[in-house]
Amino acid sequence: MNESAKGSRNFYGEYSLKQWIELILRKEIILPPYQRAFVWTKEDVQDLIDSLKKGLFVPPITIGNYGGSKNYILDGQQRLSAILIAYLGLFPNKEKFRFSHQEYQTTASENDDLKDDNEDTMPLEWQFSYFIQEGLGLDRKSILQKIDKDKYIELKTDVTEDDNFWRESYIGFSLIIPISSELADQQTLYSSIFRNINIKGHSLSHIESRKSLYFLREDFDQWFLPKFIHKITINNAPIDFVRYLSLLSQYKKDASEASLAQTYKTRMEKYYKSYILTEIDNGKDTSMFSCLLNSENEKRYQELKNCLEREDFPQKFPSIIDADVYLFGLIYYTIAENKVIDISESLFDELNKKIDNDFKKDSSHTKSPAAFKHLRARVRESISIYGKYLKNQTNSGNEA
């Protein structure tokens, strides 16, 4: 297929707020699987309503047809959520829809920084799908009768019950119809569009942006975000598993840690996304990474899971130094090399000795663990230590 066939036909128009609400409640427009959580505040909702009352410009909604049968909301989730919230007069209670570290965007800092979450800017584990569950109904009265109001707070506006406002206020739309009927081409198109969207100044978190890449391969998120990894934390924040995969992917490609992430010092998120795309594209057009994910994923991930869930394997690390020494070698041999580790007390002794007697006694290392020279040292030493504890090897090594 030529490149021009991978674009789209674009159509434009506008719907009244009442029509938008009907489209949502009838599920004629839906959220794609990678859409973000709700980040707007009550003030944001009121600002949108005030703008509509005054006839001010409101950015249009972008809808994309996928597979000929689904109409995904690519841009405008927050606006449409706000419209539905104002229409029903209910705002999700932060206490009832609060994300935990394990469930949302934060991952452990590469420099062991401890940062408190700003409660005013944290997103909610809520999407408008909570208002369109089966059996709730297709109108305000039915929904209000059946919704669990204990999870919401009242948000009455002077237009909540003003039918004229909902019928006579409009928001425009852009409808994207892909030229290609191939789902792979459509996924690429929509993922690219979503990653370039910044809604109302609320930037996508790095996890949200990555999820739009996972959408390029069905069910691939389970390999980048395995559930068992959430239990492994550094200072109570979950580890960034993609960070480990990407660095080990390049290590496998180069057979060395010497050039890991070279030239990416201030652009590590770009480095991680380049790795994700390498896996999604099956290694096409890259000289940096080696694909780690393949038909044996399930077997390899189960082995990693078994190791991490052992009673004697630590799950809470005090610093990224500890976590890296314990995890780089383990992940490398189980995922990249398909090996089985002989987990033993002597292995733990050797890992702890490297952490306490070498790395943590170096003040420059503890002050700046994200520095490449220190990161590369942790990768090298962790893999070297685990390499002596592989099962079924002639000289597997059992001495610390």
Mean pLDDT by 10 residues, the chain (400 residues): 66 97 94 76 90 92 92 91 93 80 59 52 75 83 90 88 93 94 82 60 64 72 89 91 96 96 87 88 79 89 96 96 98 96 97 97 95 96 98 50
Q: How far apart are CA 191 and CA 211, in angstroms?
A: 9
pLDDT number for residue 5: 53
pLDDT number for residue 116: 41
pTM above 0.75, yes or no: no
Distances (CA, A) of 16 to 13, 20, 55, 83, 85: 11, 6, 13, 11, 16
Residue 204 sits at φ, ψ, to 5 deg, of -65, 140
User: Which pairing describes strands 8-16 and 170-178: parallel, antiparallel, or unpaired?
Assistant: antiparallel
Taking a C-beta distance cutoff of 8 angstroms, is the pair 261, 271 a contact?
yes
Distances (CA, A) of 238 to 23, 113, 205, 255: 38, 13, 15, 28
Token pair, residue 248, equals 């080990």
State whether residue 48 is helix, strand or coil: helix
Residue 202 sits at φ, ψ, to 5 deg, of -90, 100
Strands (E), the chain: 8-16, 61-66, 70-75, 90-92, 152-154, 170-178, 233-234, 237-238, 316-317
Token pair, residue 39, equals 């980040």
User: If you count DSSP H runs as helices and E runs as strands, how many of each does the chain have, helices first?
Assistant: 15, 9
pLDDT number for residue 117: 44
Please state at what angle helix 77-88 crosses helix 42-53, rounded to 10 degrees.
Answer: 90
